Structure 1
Amino acid sequence: MKTVQPYRSTPVFDQDTLPAALRARHDTKAGVWGVIRVIEGQLELTYLDPPSTTILTPDKPGLVQPQQPHFVTPIGAVKMQVDFYDHPPAR
């Protein structure tokens, strides 16, 4: 039975501590889903394949599929965290 909890989470990042690697094109590994959770503020999530952009807020997390290229851009002051799952997560 698969757990509903993430198997790993990043630290909480803000607009100053958000790693450059998350601001540039990257993707999750095969079999790994990421849920980008905004704790405060707003974050722009850009998917590269297929191309689209969405604004994440505390009420609207972002789902990243396995191996889906993407990057994030802070919109002003923000606090965010990424949860990683080994199965499609319930958001």
Structure 2
Amino acid sequence: MPSSVAFYKSTPVFSETSVPAALQRDHTTAAGVWAKIMVLEGSLEYHITEPAPEQRLLSAGDEGIIAPQMHTLLRYPAR
């Protein structure tokens, strides 16, 4: 994330049962807005769907960075 990025807001902590459905579907951040996913426990699949498809498995302590207008979605790994 660029050093010029300033904190804007944070969301509540989500669990496997409380992550909003909108984050589990393809979505984007607004122009100029960066996002950081912080995994506190367990694991989370972080999917970049555009511009270049990519999938990452984030585990406790990992972070995922989302650039402005990047298409992403979140999934919990199958158990």
Report the TM-score when normalising by structure 2: 0.85
Compare the two structures and name the one with the higher strand fraction: 1
**Mapped contact 2:44–2:77 kept (Cα < 8 A):** yes
The one-letter code matched in structure 1 to 2:24 is R
Deviation of the 1:22 alpha carbon: 0.4
Q: How many residues align?
A: 76
Deviates more, 1:22-31 or 1:53-62: 53-62
Q: Any idea what the Cα deviations from partners look like across 1:5-53, whole Å, max 9, x if unmatched?
A: 6220000010001110000000100000000000110000000111000
Report the TM-score when normalising by structure 1: 0.75
Structure 1 unaligned residues grouped into runs of 5+: 78-91
Structure 2 unaligned residues grouped into runs of 5+: none
The one-letter code matched in structure 2 to 1:48 is T
Deviation of the 1:75 alpha carbon: 2.5
Match of 1:7 in 2: 8
Q: Which consecutive segments of 4 or more residues in structure 1 shift more than 3 A?
A: 2-5
Higher-RCO chain (CA-CA 8 Å, sequence separation at least 6):
1
Aligned counterparts, 1:1-91, within 5 A: 6-49=7-50, 50-75=52-77
RMSD value, Cα: 2.1
Identical aligned residues as a percent: 37
**Mapped contact 2:41–2:61 kept (Cα < 8 A):** no
